[in-house]
Amino acid sequence: MLERERLAVAYSLLKYKEELQDLYEILEPYRKSDCCNFISHMHLGDSFYRAAMKNDLEEKYGKIHYIINPSAEAVMPLFNITNYSVFDFNKYIEQKLKKYFNDDIIFAYTKHLLIQKMFSAIPRVGSFFVIDFDTPYFHKFAEILNKDGNNYSVMEYNYACAGILKIKKININDIHYPDITKNCKDKIEQYGKLEKSILLLPEASSDVLLDKRIWNNIASELQQLGYIVFENVINYNNHIDGAINLELDVNELIQLGINCHSVISYRSGLCDILAGKRSNLYVLSREQRNMDFKRTFSFKDNFEFGSSGAPVEIFLSNRQKPKLIFEGHNLLKNVNKKYLPKNILKRNLMEKILQTIFSAKNQNEHKIIIIFGIKLKIRRRKD
């Protein structure tokens, strides 16, 4: 997020928290007195990673009862979790606060942080708890590993916040994927064979989207290769030309995603769910996001794939010609660079440059700094 957006979120946290005070009373019927009640209220991907923690959480704290959004219910069987309740956190907070926001990205961050700050981050039997980085656990973990926040994988982050001080990845053999149902298969095969179907996922709730012309190019290239192209879009403005939208629920999307020929997706929580089942998952991300978060969302840093192949990660920016190689064809060959995401010079990099300049003690001293592979000699000018 840009500094302007961070300030907007911070302001919103201070201003609107009072409006959510009835959430304690609303959630009280969901609380189980013999369990640690885990409020897993965030995106689909967050729910997936937090469900993967179940055995380690229970080993340390006792029985865990998950309270999840409706969309995350499809995640629970993947880890054989039956002790959960469903509450629509998104609907609740949107009814309360959406009217105050005209920026969807700021609202997406704020609504989760508001809930996060309302509950304890320490698991206790009979109480609610959340995953929150602002705990002694997390800072202790950072001290042990001597890492800054950008160098954590999602799994390391979640374990640190929960006070489990060990490095853990998801073993893909521990994920229990469903078989495709006849109903789901019939929906798909009215258009052609499942093995000739490709699923495109252009949306994500936690990042700015790619230009739609990128997805139109991908779909066109795939159709020329003889594939049936399906899409999953919630906002019809993101519809991909020529793609078929079956309006599947999350369970059906998972079934299609693990059984069709290939999946090409923008980086989202559904990618995490599908990552353990397929190596022919092509994941597009902004290069800037990868620069900002480093290891955080890397599949290889969050999963143990063993002999199975990892998803293919493609980072896009307008600094270079895009490539998405599929069966020897570059599906992005006709995409104009002006439609690709732009990289922004990071503010902390500018601070580094200025610090280097002014750390010189006199005008005769120079220092070397390397930026984007270019070696610069910096000399402080005489006053």
| Domains of the chain, each with CATH number or no CATH | 3-132 (no CATH), 134-168 (no CATH), 182-339 (3.40.50.2000), 347-379 (no CATH)
Q: What distance in Å separates the CA atoms of residue 210 and residue 282, rounded to the nearest whole number?
A: 15
Q: What distance in Å separates the CA atoms of residue 8 and residue 2, rounded to the nearest whole number?
A: 10
Q: What share of the chain is helix, strand, coil (3-state, %, to 5)?
A: 45, 15, 40
Q: What distance in Å separates the CA atoms of residue 1 and residue 207, rounded to the nearest whole number?
A: 9
Q: What distance in Å separates the CA atoms of residue 124 and residue 162, rounded to the nearest whole number?
A: 11
DSSP class of residue 314?
E
DSSP states along 2-52? -HHHHHHHHHHHHHHGGGGTTHHHHHGGG--TTSEEEEE-S-HHHHHHHHT
Cβ atoms within 10 Å of 319's Cβ, excluding its own: 12
Cβ atoms within 10 Å of 285's Cβ, excluding its own: 23
pLDDT at 144: 64
Q: Which pairs with CB-CB distance under 8 Å and at least 24 residues apart come from 316-319?
A: 316/210, 316/214, 316/284, 316/285, 316/286, 316/287, 316/340, 316/341, 317/286, 317/287, 317/288, 317/341, 317/342, 317/343, 318/342, 318/343, 319/287, 319/343
Q: For residue 171, what are the β-bridge partners?
A: 304
Q: What distance in Å separates the CA atoms of residue 196 and residue 215, rounded to the nearest whole number?
A: 18
Q: Where are the beta strands (DSSP E) in the chain?
A: 36-40, 64-68, 84-86, 128-129, 170-171, 197-201, 228-231, 244-245, 262-266, 281-286, 303-304, 312-316, 325-326, 329-330, 366-371, 374-379
Q: For residue 368, what are the β-bridge partners?
A: 377
pLDDT at 39: 96
Tell me the one-letter amino acid at 85.
S
Pairing of strands 325-326, 329-330: antiparallel
Give the residue ranges of the chain where pLDDT is below 50: 1-2, 346-364, 369-375, 380-383
pLDDT at 94: 84
Q: For residue 128, what are the β-bridge partners?
A: 37
pLDDT at 14: 62
What would the pLDDT profile of 157-182 be if each residue is shown by its tens digit? 888 888 887 778 999 999 999 999 99
Contact 334, 217 (CB under 8 A): yes
Contact 207, 271 (CB under 8 A): no
DSSP class of residue 310?
P
Structure pTM? 0.84
Contact 265, 284 (CB under 8 A): yes
pLDDT at 134: 66
Question: What is the token pair recorded at 151?
Answer: 């160098």
Q: What distance in Å separates the CA atoms of residue 319 and residue 70, rounded to the nearest whole number?
A: 40
Q: What distance in Å separates the CA atoms of residue 380 and residue 369, rounded to the nearest whole number?
A: 13
